[in-house]
Amino acid sequence: MRKIGGKILFSATDLVNFLGCRHCSWLDLKDLEQPLEKAEDDAEAILLKEKGLEHERAYVERLREQGLAVAEIPQGLSIEERVRATEAEMAGGADVIYQAALLGEPWHGYADFLRRVPASSNLGPWSYEVVDAKLAHTPRPHHVMQLCVYSDLLARIQGREPHSMHLVLGDGREAAFRSSGFAHYCANARRRFERFVYGPPAESYPEPCRLCDTCRWRDRCGAQWETDDHLTLVANIQRSQIRKLNDAGIATVRALAQMPARSPVRKLAPETLARLRAQAGLQVQKRETGENVYELLGTQPGRGFQRLPRPDDGDLFFDIEGDPLYPDGLEYLFGFYYFEDGEPVFKPFWAHDHDAERTAFQGLMDFITRELERHPDAHIYHYNHYEATAIKRLASRYGTREAAVDDLLRRGKLVDLFKVVREAIRVSEPRYTLKNLETFYMKKREGEVKTAAESIVVYERWRQTRDPALLDEIRSYNEADCRSTRGLRDWLLTLRP
């Protein structure tokens, strides 16, 4: 959303944001009147932008290799100048126009590419279709919505609706969509958006949604939820549950914690309500006393603590670092922490391309097989499903060590401690990540890399610079995760009834 000469111009991103969160559009409007403070792009967002640009550049190269002339619209110009330059290239029949600027008030947009097709239009015996480059490997609804906005703007210029619109995905594949199949839905969405922005409500309140993590208003909304003690602060609560609690007059964490036991909430199952109330109670207790608290949950056969095998000297603690930005994804570090003759050992398997990934995967499966032969009662512990999913995927991708993976699964050798935690205990933390749980069993972590997202950023930096110190940082981070998994397992053993 931007204001030019007193007029407001909307973009495809504004529409996508509106469909995800009206409060976002409401704040965008306020920001036009009086600039508001925005969250800064973090290192991950900056990296994604760089990767997006690389992806576009690689596509330009591919087009040139096919013998197509690619006209690039310069970026440092005003929007009117860029629009004029784009329209001139369209009139001249350029094969491909890169960074095309499109305007049809009150909408505007910058399509990554316009590709010439042999369908006649106002321009002559040719017209254009929109091609957008996305890092994702599968098309998402908001990508299609963006394409629709650009295609509509394009139709106004060339006097005919483009037959198709296209995405170039992160793995280089192209996906095509028939414009007419989405035009009605998109026009409808635009009308709803315009109604909202031309007559916005006087007040608006942020409701957490999937856009929050990357939204430029996230700091502002987060601060408001803290101030208001909003129910979104309760661990593992869902939006629908918040709505039902709000309908029952419960709007804060404290109010939920203080609800009398057995008071009903419409359409919320009593056991769900009891869980949320108990969770809120623990969080309020920590807030007031500063102490970490936990509760043990009732046991059910085969669940919770019963998932914990008897500890063994040969137990392995396993964690993977993956890079989703590498073409087709790459698991670049597989770390194991274990004890050998009473001494702790950390064993990393590195892979910096797909050949090495295959070799590393074979190496680690052979390592696991050997260790389990030496210690038949040992298990491999990890936190959450990523590790188990990754080894199944790698066995099938490379068609190797499939029997060994099947054997691990069949014998129940992989132990997901997240399942144990979720079913066995309740803690006073607002989230149930490994890092949150560490407050119960280890000191605060040190080291440069502190989150999985940061490790991806550091790894991508290493790919550019080859500075070994960066790999050392990632190694330390992975080792800390493996040690923490062991710490968690040991803590859970002390709690087991």
* Residues contributing to the site for ligand SF4 (CB under 6 A): 21, 23-24, 27, 206-209, 211-212, 215, 217-218, 221
The CA angle 100-103-104, to the nearest 5 degrees, is 145
Most distant CA pair in the chain: distance in Å? 80
Q: Least distance (Å) from ligand SF4 to the CB of residue 140? A: 16
Q: Least distance (Å) from ligand SF4 to the CB of residue 209? A: 5
Nearer to ligand SF4, 211 or 495 (CB): 211
Q: Least distance (Å) from ligand SF4 to the CB of residue 305? A: 37
Q: Least distance (Å) from ligand SF4 to the CB of residue 179? A: 28
Q: Least distance (Å) from ligand SF4 to the CB of residue 3? A: 20
Residue found under tokens 């008030």: 105
Q: Least distance (Å) from ligand SF4 to the CB of residue 430? A: 16
Nearer to ligand SF4, 243 or 475 (CB): 243
- Residue 105: partners with Cβ closer than 8 Å, 6 or more residues away: 7, 9
Q: Least distance (Å) from ligand SF4 to the CB of residue 102? A: 26
Nearer to ligand SF4, 20 or 52 (CB): 20
Nearer to ligand SF4, 2 or 239 (CB): 239
- Measured CA to CA, the distance from residue 89 to residue 91 in angstroms comes to 5
Nearer to ligand SF4, 27 or 372 (CB): 27
- Measured CA to CA, the distance from residue 404 to residue 51 in angstroms comes to 36
Distance of CA 151 to the CA centre of its chain: 27
3-state secondary structure of 127: strand
Q: Least distance (Å) from ligand SF4 to the CB of residue 199? A: 19
Residue in 162, 178, 84, 175 with CA at minimum distance from that of residue 127? 162
Contact indicator for 427, 296 with CB cutoff of 8 Å:
no
Contact indicator for 424, 296 with CB cutoff of 8 Å:
yes
Sign of CA dihedral 403, 414, 483, 355: positive
Q: Least distance (Å) from ligand SF4 to the CB of residue 224? A: 8
- Measured CA to CA, the distance from residue 425 to residue 494 in angstroms comes to 12
Q: Least distance (Å) from ligand SF4 to the CB of residue 189? A: 17
Nearer to ligand SF4, 189 or 437 (CB): 189
Nearer to ligand SF4, 197 or 424 (CB): 197
Nearer to ligand SF4, 209 or 409 (CB): 209
104, containing H or E segment: strand 96-104
The alpha carbon torsion through 52, 53, 54, 58 (nearest 10 deg) reads 100
Contact indicator for 10, 153 with CB cutoff of 8 Å:
no
- Measured CA to CA, the distance from residue 96 to residue 100 in angstroms comes to 10
Inter-helix orientation angle 402-410/386-398, to 10°: 150
Nearer to ligand SF4, 24 or 360 (CB): 24
Nearer to ligand SF4, 44 or 161 (CB): 44
- Give the residue ranges of DSSP H helices in 210-321: 218-228, 239-247, 253-257, 270-289
